A and B are shown apart, each in its own frame.
Chain A
C-alpha cells in the first residue's frame, strides 16, 4: 500500500447486496443468540389466535354474520398481526442499533441509508413470518380454519399490510432518531392508533360517517374489507386492492420523508454519534 500514494477511489456503487447480507447476518446472529426472543415472536400471535378461535366458536351459534364466514375473525387476527409485527420488526431492528450505540459505526461504513432500510424490510419479513406461521398452522389444527383458503389474494393483502407497516415504521424510526430513545415506545404503540379505523373485525360501514372517511384513508381498511369480500362472497375486489396500493405509496413516501428529514437533522445536530441507552 505504501507504494500506492496516488490512489484515487473508484466510483462508489449505489447498491451492494453483500452489505445488505452482512446486516441481515447481524440480526440473524442476534436472534440465534436468544431463544426467548424467537419464542416471543410467535407467543403473542399464538395466544391471540387461540383466544379469538374460541370467540369464533361461540359466535358461530350466536351470530349469522360470523356463521356465514367462520374464519372472518381468525383471518382478521392473523392479518392484523402482519401489520403489527411488520412494523415492530422493522422498528426494533433499528432500535437494536441505538441501544447498542452502533449507529455511528454503521453510518461511517460504506452501508448506504437505503441499503439499511432494505435490510430492515427483509428483517421485518423474516420476523413477522416467524411470528405468524405457527399460529396460522395451529388455526388449521385447532379450528379447522386455514388462512391460506383465501387463496392468492392473501399474498396481495399481506404485501399491502407489509408496505403500510414499513411506511409507519419509517416514520417511527425517524421520530426516534429526531427525539431520541425517549420516544422509543412509539415502536410499540403507534400502529394501534390504526386499529379502530382499520376495520379489522367489523366493516367500515358500522363506523360513524366522519370516521368512515378517516378509515378510507388507511390502506389497512381496504385490505380488511377485501378480506371479508373474499370470505363472505368469494370475490377478490381489485378496486379495494388498488385503493390500498395507492394509499401505500402515499404512506411510504411520507414515512421515507420523515426518516430522511430526521437523518439530515441528526447529521446536523451530531446525534448519530451520541445515541444510546
Chain B
C-alpha cells in the first residue's frame, strides 16, 4: 500500500463567528491526483493555503511528507510547490529571470538546464526574455506552472490552474499535468470548479460545501452514487443540495 503523503486532520478556520473551513479531514496516498471540488466560497483556497502554511488554522493539523506543517514546514517546502491565481510573479522581470530566482530559492541543481527543459516542454522559448507582466493569460499560466514545477515537486498544490484560459490552452495544460504526474509519480492536489478538469485528471474527488467535505470518491463512483451522467450535474446536486445530496448523498463531515 502506498505511503500517505498528505494527512489533514480536523482542519478548521474561523474568522470571528464565521467558519470558513470546519472539520476537514482527509488523506492522500503517494502518486495520485486528488481534486478538491466546490463552488465559490466552499473553502478550497482556504484549505490549500492552510496546507501550505500561509494561513494558520484555528484548529486541526496538516502533515505533508510526514512533516507537521505547523511546526516543521521548512522540511517539506523544498519538495512542494504551488500555483494560484491569487499570486503573481514580479511583472517587470523577464520569465527567465523569474525562473532563475525560484530555481535559486528551491536550490535546484543545474538551474540553467532545468529552466531550458521547462521552457521547451511548456512551449515558452519564444517569450523567455519578455517581462512577465506583458504576457497573455495563457502564457502567464504556463509560466506559473513552470515556477510550480521548477523543483520537480513531489507534492504539487494547484489552485484553479486553468482558470480564465480558453478551452484549447486549458486542455493543453491538463494534458501536460497528466503527463507530469504520470512521469514523476508526484502527488497532486487540485482545487477546481471545472468538472472536465477534475474528471480527466483526478482519481479521487473531495466535494466541498460551506467549508466542509460533504463527499468523497472517484469520479465514476460519484456519478453512479448521484445517478448522474456528468460531474457537472453531481456538482450542482452538491452545491444546491438537490438529488442524492438532499437524500443523504453526503458522506458527512470529515469524509476520508
Contact = CB atoms under 8 A, between A and B. Distances in A.
Nearest to B88: A101
B100 A109 contact: no
Contact of A26 (B53, B80, B93, B186): B93
B54 interface: yes
Interface string A250-277: 0000000000000010011110111010
A183 interface: no
B76 interface: yes
A110 B87 CA distance: 17
B110 to A, nearest CB: 13
A267 B31 CA distance: 29
B92 A7 contact: no
A96 interface: yes
Nearest to B184: A1
A148 B205 CA distance: 68
Contact of A8 (B53, B54, B65): B65
A267 B67 contact: no
Given A5-B31, A9-B65, A30-B90, A109 B2 contact: no
B105 A110 contact: yes
Interface string A101-142: 111111111111000000000000000000000000000000
A234 interface: no
B185 interface: yes
Contacts of B15: 269
A8 to B, nearest CB: 5
Given A11-B75, A25-B100, A33-B93, A274 B86 contact: yes
Given A7-B65, A270-B46, A1 B90 contact: no
A5 B2 contact: yes
Given A1-B184, A34-B92, A273 B79 contact: no
B107 A272 contact: no
B180 to A, nearest CB: 11
A155 interface: no
A19 B79 contact: no
Interface in B176-215: 183-186
Interface residues of A, number: 48
Contacts of A108: 52-54, 77, 80-82
A206 interface: no
A100 interface: yes
Given A9-B76, A33-B92, A270-B46, A111 B82 contact: no
Contacts of A269: 15
B67 A9 contact: yes
B55 A9 contact: no
A2 interface: yes
A33 B97 CA distance: 11
Contacts of B252: none
Nearest to B48: A273
A104 B74 contact: no
A21 B104 contact: yes
Interface string A71-85: 000000000000000
Contact of A19 (B80, B105, B186): B105
Given A11-B75, A19-B107, A22-B103, 14 more contacts: A7-B65, A9-B65, A21-B104, A25-B97, A29-B101, A34-B92, A104-B54, A105-B102, A109-B106, A268-B56, A269-B15, A272-B54, A273-B45, A276-B88
Interface of B: 2-3, 15, 30-31, 45-46, 49, 52-56, 65-67, 72, 74-82, 84, 86-94, 97, 100-107, 131, 147, 152, 154, 183-186
> What 7 pairs between A and B have smallest CB-CB spacing?
A22-B104, A2-B185, A104-B87, A12-B74, A101-B88, A100-B90, A5-B30
Interface of A: 1-12, 16, 18-19, 21-23, 25-26, 29-30, 33-34, 96-97, 100-112, 264, 267-270, 272-274, 276
29 contacts: A1-B154, A2-B185, A5-B30, A7-B154, A9-B75, A12-B78, A19-B105, A22-B105, A23-B101, A26-B90, A26-B97, A34-B92, A100-B88, A100-B89, A102-B87, A102-B88, A102-B90, A104-B87, A105-B147, A108-B54, A108-B77, A108-B80, A108-B82, A110-B77, A267-B55, A268-B56, A272-B55, A273-B49, A273-B54
